[in-house]
Homo-oligomer: A and B are copies of this chain.
């Protein structure tokens, strides 16, 4: 029935070999559903670092996912001011745009070489009919995006420059830690310029530079030559005014990842002095 009368084409092979992680939209699709999606999807597209994956105003209604690489999403004001929204990693849905007649206001650009995949909206409707969990899974993914946007908005709207930069770096680092828990180093590759950080935090790159210097001389974080090193996790969490445990829980979740009851309610903040990814509280990083 699925893939009726056809050879397993390139598209299906792409789907079967898809590198995106288990939280991705089609990661839990049944074989039938995967066949369906593979039949309608566009060929995977490779995007070079620095190129746009899609631009603001693109009217296409394809659901677009990031299979591998680092990207960022952004909006532009008419006079060219740019706001970076987030830095999606592999597996993220970059765009889900169900409304006809309008277009996404944001764009997405590759920070490293990326591979993206696009599925027509109509195919998604059909797939979710076949496997209803897909609709809710998509809702969950977008809801996570919303949560992250909320954190980001709070930081940009209500924190000082120093707090914002610390917040952003901490979030990036925590997420990296969750995705590659094997590396125990307080260090990561971060393919950003000062200008990216500025556009994400709502500052000028000049001021970002000053803030980074101050954070470095205070022995908190170091960001040079595209490497981020966390020198003092506790101080960093303190400056950023976030509970790293809470960040972790948000970065890791997926609807099925943890039993109920962990860290519910407002008491979570109580224990926030654990080093980030150090030997203590290591369970949270595992």
A window 252-286: CB within 8 A of B: 253-266, 268-269
Q: From the candidates B75, B96, B146, B259, name the one contacting A145 in the complex (CB within 8 A).
A: B146
A150 to B145, CA, bound (A): 10
A window 52-103: CB within 8 A of B: 56-59, 75, 77-79, 81-83, 85, 96-103
A237 to B67, CA, bound (A): 39
Q: From the candidates B106, B146, B256, name the one contacting A142 in the complex (CB within 8 A).
A: B146
CB-based contact A149/B151 at 8 Å: no
CB-based contact A77/B159 at 8 Å: yes
Q: From the candidates B103, B136, B156, B159, name the one contacting A138 in the complex (CB within 8 A).
A: B136
A sample of 30 cross-chain residue pairs with beta-carbon separation below 8 angstroms, ordered by A number, consists of: A57-B265, A59-B265, A77-B154, A81-B158, A83-B157, A97-B143, A98-B139, A98-B255, A100-B255, A100-B257, A100-B258, A101-B259, A101-B260, A102-B246, A102-B250, A102-B253, A103-B264, A103-B268, A105-B147, A105-B150, A105-B151, A128-B132, A128-B136, A134-B135, A135-B136, A136-B139, A138-B139, A142-B142, A149-B149, A156-B157
CB-defined contacts of A42 to chain B, threshold 8 Å: none
CB-defined contacts of A263 to chain B, threshold 8 Å: 101-103
A55 to B208, CA, bound (A): 33
What is the minimal beta-carbon distance from A282 to any residue of chain B, in angstroms? 18
Mark A residues whose CB is within 8 Å of B.
56-59, 75, 77-79, 81-83, 85, 96-106, 124-125, 128-129, 132-140, 142-147, 149-154, 156-159, 201-202, 241, 246, 249-250, 253-266, 268-269
CB-based contact B136/A261 at 8 Å: no
Which of A135, A139, A265: most chain B Cβ within 10 A?
A139
CB-based contact A99/B151 at 8 Å: no
CB-defined contacts of A253 to chain B, threshold 8 Å: 99, 101-102
Q: A85-B150, A125-B136 are in contact. List 13 more A-B contacts (CB 8 A).
A: A75-B151, A97-B143, A98-B143, A98-B255, A99-B140, A99-B249, A99-B257, A101-B257, A105-B246, A133-B135, A136-B139, A138-B139, A149-B149
